[in-house]
Amino acid sequence: MRVKTTIALAVCLLFSSCFLSRGHQNLPLAAEAYASLRPGESTAIDATEVLGAPSEVVELGNGSAWRYEYAQVKRTGLFLLVFGFLNEDTQSDRIWLFFDADGTLVNAAATFEAERAEWESPWSGDE
């Protein structure tokens, strides 16, 4: 019995694998560029000059909302013969800009969390 256990353990160690990976969606957003936009003063043209094209445009009744997003994902994995463990952490930077019918910025909101993505062991999780 001890020989079978030793062989099984050796096979698991020889045919196991682990990995780390990182992915990005869109280009990073600059907090300084966002801070340069002023509600009541900045226009849609100003926004495209400092932030580029938005990820999404939502048409509202008398205006529009533009969403900018950058996401970073970090993955870890461990595979042992027939069992696999995977952990993934995705964090995003998001900017929403709200324009009136004339294209003037009326409101803005942002979160910058993409750099908080972390690699964690595959078996750890939110508790």
SS (H, E, C) 6-71: HHHHHHHHHCEEEEEEEEEECCCCCHHHHHCCCCCCCEHHHHHHHHCCCCEEEEECCEEEEEEEEE
Write out pLDDT tens, residues 33-49: 999 999 999 999 999 99
Judging by DSSP bridges, how do beta strands 56-60 and 63-80 pair with one another?
Answer: antiparallel
Q: What is the pLDDT of residue 109?
A: 97
Using the predicted structure, report yes or no on whether residue 113 has a pLDDT greater than 90: yes
Write out pLDDT tens, residues 9-25: 666 666 677 878 889 99
Angstrom distances, CA of residue 109 to CA of 27, 34, 59, 96, 121? 18, 9, 17, 5, 33
Q: What is the pLDDT of residue 7?
A: 72
Q: Enter the pTM of the model.
A: 0.75
CATH hierarchy code of domain 28-116: 3.30.1450
Contact between 63 and 100 under an 8 Å Cβ cutoff? The reply is yes
